Amino acid sequence: MVGDAENHVAGRTIAAIASPPGRGGVGVVRVSGPLAQAIGLTVSGRGDLQPRYCHFATFRDSRGEPLDQGLVVFFPGPRSFTGEDVVELHGHGGPAVLNGILQAAFDAGAEAAEAGEFTRRAFLNDRMDLSQAEAVAELIEADSLAGARAALRSLEGEFGRQVEQLAEELADLRVFVEGSLDFPDEDVDFLATGDVDGRLSAVRERLTRLRERASTGVRLSEGFLVVLAGRPNAGKSSLLNCLAGRESAIVTERAGTTRDILREKVALDGFHVELADTAGLRETDDPVEREGVRRARDLVERADLVFFLVDSQQGWTSEDAREWGRLPEDRRVALWTKADLDAAEGAPAISCTGEPGVGPLEEELRRRLPLQGGGDALGARQRHLEVLDRVATELASAAGTLQNYGSGDLVAQDLRRAHEALGEITGRVHSDDLLGRIFATFCIGK
């Protein structure tokens, strides 16, 4: 880590446009590194920069030609975002102006920042742990308020703290179990007296809870995929159009109209739900339709929720029963369609053209997706879930060994692996490769 820190942090002074591409009232060029203050003085033409103070200035290029008027702010390290000296140049938000200011910073000694390099430096300078650094990206990418709140919770360090706490409990357990290995001849059964079993179950329970909170966070940021499935002519495409508010899919009275998957984003209670219309499920000899059905079945496997639409006029047929049986049990909901034509009983019913409308479907979405339940979600990424799963596997293995009166040696190994894996979340244990992969997903200027 020290080598890495020296390579990336000490030498170069980096600069990038930190505001989004396009035009806006203001735009920001951020500079970080040992030359930041000097660059701020040169570009702004000022004689001094008071720390954390907004100075009005005229920005000039290397030949002294004026570029823009704006504000310059100097954040001396280590009390800055990256932990180094940072200067922000706030100009007008147009591409020509901002590129001009950026070029002026380059001419004064800065180099182009890589994707995520500001946040990477913040991590390497201990301004934040890895889960916080990643939460910066989540917060910027969030397109729902609940997703943003979850990311902020992680940015504030909640996720990292929870992980650290788990890591500490694991460390205590390791110390105890490894300590018992030093006295193999003792009569006393160390593992039994230390209630290793009980402590291990407590850690596993906390881990499960943390996994749930993180998993909700991932789903909030990735959005929910809701698939409309059902036999041909059930009314899937009509429903997609109705919810999207536009004629996205072709609707005809002919069975087997849709073949491709059609996606539409719809907003529900401030969330983006991705709806997918699919080919009607049936056995067919038509190769094009068959491919459509295959894609539909594939997509169903990845869905957060599957609405299985059944034409009220046709009623529940044996084909419906067969297709229903192939859907994932925990994620399927039956919905009667065309309720304006025929009143259905039992399952919720909807209509695209008349009463009762699509309200019952929205109710099901609210009930089935953790839209409100995102209350204590933690902004997280798929990578974190994978690490937590690995930790869970190691701990399950440790518990199994304990139960079978296995050797303390094996338990100790499982605990060590679980403990080390946890460190990958906060970055206590990291490799350049892991950092490279994480920060590559950031954009330049972050």
Residues binding Mg ion (CB under 5 A) = 236-237, 257-258
44 contacts which partner out of ligand GTP, Mg ion, none, CB within 5 to 8 A by kind?
none
**Which residues carry a binding-site annotation for GTP?**
233-238, 252-258, 277-280
Interacting residues with ligand GTP (CB under 6 A): 230, 232-238, 251-253, 255-258, 279-280, 337-338, 340-341, 351-353
* Residue 61 partner contact from Mg ion, ligand GTP, none using kind-dependent CB cut-offs of 5 to 8 Å: none
**Binding-site sequence positions:** 30, 88, 127, 233-238, 252-258, 277-280, 446
In the complex, minimum distance from the CB of residue 332 to ligand GTP, in angstroms, rounded to a whole number: 16
Q: What is the nearest approach in angstroms of Mg ion to the Cβ of residue 224? A: 21
Shortest Cβ distance from residue 279 to ligand GTP (Å)?
6
Closest separation in Å from C-beta 225 to ligand GTP: 18
Please say which residue, 223 or 256, places its beta carbon nearer to ligand GTP: 256
Q: Which residue, 32 or 257, has its beta carbon nearer to Mg ion?
A: 257
CB-closest chain residue to ligand GTP: 280
Element (H, E) at 239: helix 236-244
Report the residue number, 108 or 352, with the smaller CB distance to ligand GTP.
352
* b/e sequence 216-245, b meaning 16+ C-beta within 10 Å: bbbbbbebbbbbbbbbbbbbbbbbbbbbbe
The item of Mg ion, ligand GTP, none sharing an interface with residue 211, based on CB under 5 to 8 Å by kind, is none
Whether omega before 356 lies within 30 degrees of 0, making that bond cis, reads yes
Query: To the nearest whole angstrom, how small is the minimum distance from the Cβ of residue 295 to Mg ion?
Result: 13
238 contacts which partner out of ligand GTP, Mg ion, none, CB within 5 to 8 A by kind?
Answer: ligand GTP
CB of 303 to ligand GTP, least distance (A): 16
Going by their DSSP bridges, the two strands 86-93 and 262-268 should be labelled as unpaired
Instruction: Locate 429 and state its tokens.
Output: 């244990």
- Residue (351 or 401) nearer to ligand GTP, CB: 351
Question: Among 224, 252, 225, 235, which residue's Cα sits nearest to residue 349?
Answer: 235
Please give the annotated binding residues for (6S)-5-formyl-5,6,7,8-tetrahydrofolate, written as ranges: 30, 88, 127, 446
Annotated binding-site positions for Mg(2+): 237, 258
Is the CB of 202 or the CB of 341 nearer to ligand GTP? 341
Question: How long is the chain?
Answer: 446
- Measured at the CA of 177, the angle between CA 411 and CA 422, to 5 degrees, comes to 65
For residues 112-140, one letter each, b for 16 or more C-beta atoms within 10 angstroms of the residue's C-beta and e for the rest, the string is ebbbbbbbbbbbbbebbbbbbbbbbbbbe
Of the candidates 335, 342, 341, 324, the one whose C-alpha atom is nearest the C-alpha of residue 359 is 335
Q: From the list Mg ion, ligand GTP, none, pick the one residue 370 interacts with, judged by a Cβ distance below 5 to 8 Å according to partner type.
A: none
Q: Is 135 or 251 the residue whose CB approaches Mg ion more closely?
A: 251
* Helix H or strand E segment including 96: helix 95-107
Phi, psi dihedral angles at 201 (to 5 degrees) = -65, -40
Q: Which does 340 bind (CB under 5 to 8 A by kind): ligand GTP, Mg ion, none?
A: ligand GTP
CB of 223 to ligand GTP, least distance (A): 23
Q: Which does 50 bind (CB under 5 to 8 A by kind): Mg ion, ligand GTP, none?
A: none
Cα–Cα distances in Å, from 158 out to 9, 132, 141? 26, 9, 19
Task: Please say which residue, 132 or 257, places its beta carbon nearer to Mg ion.
Answer: 257
d(CA 34, CA 41): 13
Q: Which DSSP symbol is given to 9?
A: I
What strands lie across the sheet with 262-268, from one edge to the other?
A: 262-268, 271-277, 224-230, 305-311, 332-337
Alpha helices by DSSP H, listed for 281-431, are 287-302, 318-325, 359-368, 382-403, 408-426
**With b meaning 16 or more CB within 10 Å and e meaning fewer, what string describes 255-291?**
ebbbbeebebebebeebebbbbbbbbbbebeeeebee
Which residue's structure tokens are 């350049």?
432
Which of Mg ion, ligand GTP, none does 256 bind, CB closer than 5 to 8 A by kind? Answer: ligand GTP
The residue (of 162 and 312) whose beta carbon lies closer to ligand GTP is 312
293 CB neighbour count, 10 Å cutoff: 21
Cβ proximity to ligand GTP: between 145 and 255 the closer is 255
Whole-number Å distance between alpha carbons of 189 and 409: 14
- Shortest distance in whole angstroms from residue 122 CB to ligand GTP: 50
Task: For the CB of residue 320, give the shortest distance to Mg ion in the complex, in Å.
Answer: 16
Tokens at residue 185, please?
A: 């001849």
